[in-house]
Amino acid sequence: MPTVDNPAGKTLAELGAASPDEVAQLFSEVRALFDNQAAKQLDPATWEALKQVWTGRKSGVLTLITDNWLKPATPELKRAVGQELNKLKAQVESTLEARKRDVESLAEHAASAKDRADLSLPGVLRPVGTHHLIRQVFQEIEDIFFSIGFSVVEGPEIETPYYNFEALNIPEFHPVRDDMDTFYLELPKGAPGPLLLRTHTSPVQIRTMEKRQPPVRVIVPGKVYRRDNPDATHSFMFHQIEGLAVDSDITFCDFTGTIDYFVKQFFGESVKTRFRPSYFPFTEPSVEFDVSCVFCGGSGTAKSGGTCGKCKGSRWIELFGAGMVDPAVYGFVNYDPKKVSGFAFGIGIDRLAMLKYGIDDIQAFFQNDVRFLRQFP
């Protein structure tokens, strides 16, 4: 707000006004000054300042004129000054009042414009998330096993060597530990240990059989960890689904029939399965299941005519390990190996997802690149 540089600070004598005409002239100058200031754009704060400058009790212009012009005026001028001052007062007050209404309605308008939504504007599109492909494949596999009477159990990702190795018939110096050695946890001094990140979901077989009597039909989805260097087929963390079925009369036929059913449900009725002898310390016999190559239809020949690059012309693709539960394992969980039998399997989820969806780098699952993830809505 400009300070008022107006004549109200001086007396009429100092201003050289000696006649009513001269007084009127002075007042019209003051009015012009006021009109000028009141015509500016005002907001609530500048309106208040303007009001103070003109009507402030102690040193407002009206007060100054009363003190400096009216009170000391000569009797001849007093009347003229009084009349002009009243006119000025009325003008100042009515103008201030009118401007106050402008200022208030402007402020109200600004506030309500802020709150008002323009319904014609386009909305904010929030991307909708989906399950990660790995989660989707877990679900597909779980659904297949649910349909034949299995249920889901889970176990800890931090394990003891007992569950991860010993109770699975892998004693301390068994060479198989070399393939599986993993991340051991650094523990505070005196803490019970050692502990490790589980290298497979198989320890949950033991944990389940410790808690339940046969019949047992469970699958165990989860994360597993190995000290592998990352490349297109290896990751230090990946996913498995363990399966375990134990009952009084489970045969090798039940075993291969179940796996064959699962593989056909997952890849389609047209695939074939086969198994080859293999070795795992916790199954006997142990097998490796293969599926007829899902890329060349089991022909070994690519559509383009050459050798199929995926199965390298072998017509088969290795899927996962499995077997009949080794009787030695029952000894760790107080099952009677003479009375029960069963089978187990350990499916690598990432590998199955890669085969089914034609993904050639396991790292793609873990890089969180939405251009990749969006392809599997």
The footprint of ligand DAH (CB under 6 A) covers 200, 202, 242, 280, 283, 321-323, 344-346
- Residue 305, helix vs strand vs coil: coil
| C-beta separation of 96 from 54 below 8 A | yes
From the CB of 134, what's the least distance to ligand DAH, in Å?
17
Q: Which is nearer to ligand DAH, 37 or 283 (CB)?
A: 283
| C-beta separation of 349 from 239 below 8 A | yes
From the CB of 283, what's the least distance to ligand DAH, in Å?
4
Q: Which is nearer to ligand DAH, 60 or 323 (CB)?
A: 323
From the CB of 217, what's the least distance to ligand DAH, in Å?
14
**DSSP element (H, E) containing 98:** helix 75-115
CB-facing half-sphere around the CA of 327: CA atoms within 13 A:
5
Q: Which two tokens stand for residue 44?
A: 């609530």
From the CB of 278, what's the least distance to ligand DAH, in Å?
8
Q: Which is nearer to ligand DAH, 267 or 280 (CB)?
A: 280
Q: Which is nearer to ligand DAH, 298 or 321 (CB)?
A: 321
Q: Which is nearer to ligand DAH, 7 or 222 (CB)?
A: 222
Q: Which two tokens stand for residue 107?
A: 């402020």
- Please, which residues bridge with residue 197 across strands? 158
Q: Which is nearer to ligand DAH, 200 or 315 (CB)?
A: 200
Non-local (6+) Cβ contacts of 223 within 8 A are 157, 237, 238, 239
Q: What residue number has its CB nearest to ligand DAH?
A: 346
Amino acid letter, 157: E
From the CB of 147, what's the least distance to ligand DAH, in Å?
20
Cα separation, 277 vs 283, in Å, equals: 11
Cα separation, 15 vs 25, in Å, equals: 11
From the CB of 377, what's the least distance to ligand DAH, in Å?
31
The residue among 42, 24, 163 whose CA lies nearest residue 86 is 24
| C-beta separation of 214 from 248 below 8 A | yes
CB-facing half-sphere around the CA of 193: CA atoms within 13 A:
13
Q: Which is nearer to ligand DAH, 61 or 329 (CB)?
A: 329
Q: Which is nearer to ligand DAH, 214 or 346 (CB)?
A: 346
Tokens 């709150």 belong to residue: 115
From the CB of 285, what's the least distance to ligand DAH, in Å?
10
From the CB of 118, what's the least distance to ligand DAH, in Å?
59
Non-local (6+) Cβ contacts of 169 within 8 A are 281, 282, 326, 328, 329, 332
